[in-house]
Amino acid sequence: DPRTLIVQLANDKVSQGGGYAVTVAKPPTAAELNKAPQAPEQIRREFTALPEAPPGVAAMLAKAPEKPLFLRLQYVRQALYSHVVAAGAGKPSDVTPAEVDAMLAGGDATPYQIVAAEVMTARWAGVPSRMGFCFTGGSLLSQGKGRSYRPRAGAPWLEAYLAGIGRVLVL
Protein backbone atom coordinates (compact mmCIF):
# COMPACT_ATOMS: atom_id res chain seq x y z
CA ASP A 1 0.00 0.00 0.00
CA PRO A 2 1.81 3.16 -1.13
CA ARG A 3 0.07 5.35 1.47
CA THR A 4 0.76 3.26 4.58
CA LEU A 5 3.87 1.46 3.25
CA ILE A 6 2.48 -1.83 4.60
CA VAL A 7 2.94 -5.00 2.54
CA GLN A 8 -0.37 -6.42 1.41
CA LEU A 9 -0.79 -10.07 0.44
CA ALA A 10 -3.15 -11.34 -2.26
CA ASN A 11 -4.21 -14.15 0.07
CA ASP A 12 -3.86 -14.26 3.82
CA LYS A 13 -1.14 -16.94 4.04
CA VAL A 14 2.54 -16.86 3.26
CA SER A 15 3.82 -20.10 1.78
CA GLN A 16 6.42 -22.05 3.73
CA GLY A 17 9.90 -21.15 2.59
CA GLY A 18 8.65 -18.03 0.83
CA GLY A 19 10.53 -14.81 1.14
CA TYR A 20 10.97 -11.32 -0.16
CA ALA A 21 13.73 -8.79 -0.56
CA VAL A 22 13.63 -5.29 0.84
CA THR A 23 15.65 -2.55 -0.78
CA VAL A 24 16.01 0.65 1.19
CA ALA A 25 17.67 3.93 0.49
CA LYS A 26 20.59 5.18 2.54
CA PRO A 27 19.22 7.16 5.52
CA PRO A 28 19.45 10.94 5.17
CA THR A 29 22.24 12.77 6.97
CA ALA A 30 21.60 15.37 9.67
CA ALA A 31 22.53 18.07 7.15
CA GLU A 32 19.94 16.75 4.66
CA LEU A 33 17.28 16.55 7.38
CA ASN A 34 18.02 20.14 8.42
CA LYS A 35 17.63 21.36 4.81
CA ALA A 36 14.15 19.84 4.41
CA PRO A 37 11.57 22.49 3.46
CA GLN A 38 7.98 22.67 4.69
CA ALA A 39 5.77 19.78 3.52
CA PRO A 40 3.03 20.34 0.93
CA GLU A 41 -0.22 21.78 2.30
CA GLN A 42 -2.25 18.57 1.90
CA ILE A 43 0.25 16.57 3.98
CA ARG A 44 0.52 19.33 6.61
CA ARG A 45 -3.26 19.52 6.91
CA GLU A 46 -3.67 15.77 7.40
CA PHE A 47 -0.65 15.03 9.60
CA THR A 48 -0.61 18.09 11.87
CA ALA A 49 -4.31 18.07 12.74
CA LEU A 50 -4.87 18.31 16.52
CA PRO A 51 -6.80 20.40 19.01
CA GLU A 52 -5.03 23.54 20.25
CA ALA A 53 -1.82 22.95 22.20
CA PRO A 54 -2.28 23.07 25.98
CA PRO A 55 -0.48 25.81 27.99
CA GLY A 56 2.65 23.79 28.90
CA VAL A 57 3.17 22.66 25.31
CA ALA A 58 2.57 26.21 24.01
CA ALA A 59 5.20 27.56 26.43
CA MET A 60 7.69 24.91 25.31
CA LEU A 61 6.99 25.63 21.62
CA ALA A 62 7.60 29.35 22.20
CA LYS A 63 11.20 28.47 23.16
CA ALA A 64 11.76 26.06 20.24
CA PRO A 65 13.70 27.20 17.19
CA GLU A 66 11.44 27.95 14.21
CA LYS A 67 13.87 26.54 11.63
CA PRO A 68 15.24 24.25 10.49
CA LEU A 69 12.18 22.07 10.90
CA PHE A 70 14.16 18.96 11.89
CA LEU A 71 15.98 20.92 14.62
CA ARG A 72 12.57 22.10 15.88
CA LEU A 73 11.42 18.47 15.97
CA GLN A 74 14.50 17.41 17.94
CA TYR A 75 13.97 20.29 20.38
CA VAL A 76 10.39 19.27 21.23
CA ARG A 77 11.35 15.60 21.54
CA GLN A 78 14.17 16.46 23.94
CA ALA A 79 11.87 18.72 25.97
CA LEU A 80 9.45 15.81 26.37
CA TYR A 81 12.15 13.21 27.13
CA SER A 82 13.84 15.39 29.72
CA HIS A 83 10.67 15.50 31.82
CA VAL A 84 8.48 12.42 31.30
CA VAL A 85 9.11 9.30 33.36
CA ALA A 86 8.48 5.93 31.68
CA ALA A 87 6.33 3.70 33.87
CA GLY A 88 5.07 0.22 33.06
CA ALA A 89 4.57 -1.70 29.85
CA GLY A 90 1.15 -0.23 29.29
CA LYS A 91 -1.15 -0.78 26.38
CA PRO A 92 -2.32 1.43 23.53
CA SER A 93 -4.72 4.09 24.78
CA ASP A 94 -5.91 7.57 23.91
CA VAL A 95 -3.65 10.43 25.02
CA THR A 96 -5.20 13.85 25.66
CA PRO A 97 -3.51 17.24 25.29
CA ALA A 98 -3.75 17.62 29.09
CA GLU A 99 -1.83 14.36 29.54
CA VAL A 100 0.94 15.65 27.26
CA ASP A 101 1.14 18.75 29.46
CA ALA A 102 1.39 16.50 32.52
CA MET A 103 4.27 14.58 30.89
CA LEU A 104 6.09 17.86 30.22
CA ALA A 105 5.67 18.66 33.91
CA GLY A 106 7.37 15.40 34.92
CA GLY A 107 4.45 12.98 34.86
CA ASP A 108 4.58 9.22 34.39
CA ALA A 109 3.55 7.56 31.12
CA THR A 110 3.79 4.20 29.39
CA PRO A 111 6.12 3.85 26.39
CA TYR A 112 3.09 3.90 24.09
CA GLN A 113 1.80 7.12 25.68
CA ILE A 114 5.26 8.70 25.36
CA VAL A 115 5.38 7.98 21.62
CA ALA A 116 1.82 9.31 21.24
CA ALA A 117 2.92 12.50 23.06
CA GLU A 118 5.97 12.66 20.80
CA VAL A 119 3.72 12.58 17.72
CA MET A 120 1.42 15.20 19.22
CA THR A 121 4.24 17.60 20.15
CA ALA A 122 5.75 17.14 16.67
CA ARG A 123 2.40 18.02 15.09
CA TRP A 124 1.97 21.07 17.34
CA ALA A 125 5.48 22.09 16.26
CA GLY A 126 4.32 21.98 12.62
CA VAL A 127 6.08 18.73 11.65
CA PRO A 128 3.71 16.32 9.84
CA SER A 129 3.87 13.16 11.95
CA ARG A 130 2.21 9.86 12.72
CA MET A 131 2.83 6.84 14.91
CA GLY A 132 4.39 3.80 13.31
CA PHE A 133 3.82 0.39 14.88
CA CYS A 134 5.15 -3.07 14.16
CA PHE A 135 5.20 -6.47 15.77
CA THR A 136 8.27 -8.37 16.84
CA GLY A 137 8.63 -12.06 17.56
CA GLY A 138 5.14 -13.03 18.54
CA SER A 139 4.16 -16.19 20.39
CA LEU A 140 4.37 -19.65 18.88
CA LEU A 141 0.93 -21.26 18.68
CA SER A 142 0.36 -24.77 19.99
CA GLN A 143 1.69 -27.61 17.85
CA GLY A 144 3.79 -25.15 15.84
CA LYS A 145 0.83 -24.02 13.72
CA GLY A 146 1.94 -20.44 13.32
CA ARG A 147 2.42 -17.40 15.54
CA SER A 148 0.14 -15.06 17.43
CA TYR A 149 0.91 -11.32 17.45
CA ARG A 150 -0.55 -9.20 20.23
CA PRO A 151 0.07 -5.60 21.30
CA ARG A 152 2.59 -6.72 23.92
CA ALA A 153 4.80 -7.91 21.03
CA GLY A 154 4.59 -4.53 19.33
CA ALA A 155 6.70 -1.42 19.26
CA PRO A 156 5.58 2.14 18.40
CA TRP A 157 7.75 4.94 17.02
CA LEU A 158 7.51 8.45 15.61
CA GLU A 159 7.42 8.89 11.84
CA ALA A 160 7.94 12.43 10.57
CA TYR A 161 7.36 13.62 7.01
CA LEU A 162 10.08 15.89 5.66
CA ALA A 163 9.64 17.33 2.16
CA GLY A 164 12.17 16.10 -0.35
CA ILE A 165 13.01 13.14 1.91
CA GLY A 166 9.68 11.51 2.76
CA ARG A 167 8.73 9.63 5.90
CA VAL A 168 11.57 9.38 8.37
CA LEU A 169 11.58 6.88 11.21
CA VAL A 170 12.68 8.91 14.26
CA LEU A 171 13.92 6.82 17.18
Whether omega for the bond prior to residue 151 falls within 30 degrees of 0, making it cis, is no
Residue whose C-alpha is closest to residue 160's, from 54, 72, 82: 72
Query: Per residue in 13-62, pLDDT tens?
Result: 666 776 767 777 788 888 999 999 889 999 999 999 999 999 999 999 99
Instruction: Name every residue whose Cβ is closer than 8 Å to that of residue 64 and which is 6 or more positions away in sequence.
Output: 72, 75, 76, 79, 125
Query: Per residue in 60-96, pLDDT tens?
Result: 999 999 999 999 999 999 999 999 998 887 677 889 9
For residue 154, the model assigns a pLDDT of 73
For residue 5, the model assigns a pLDDT of 64
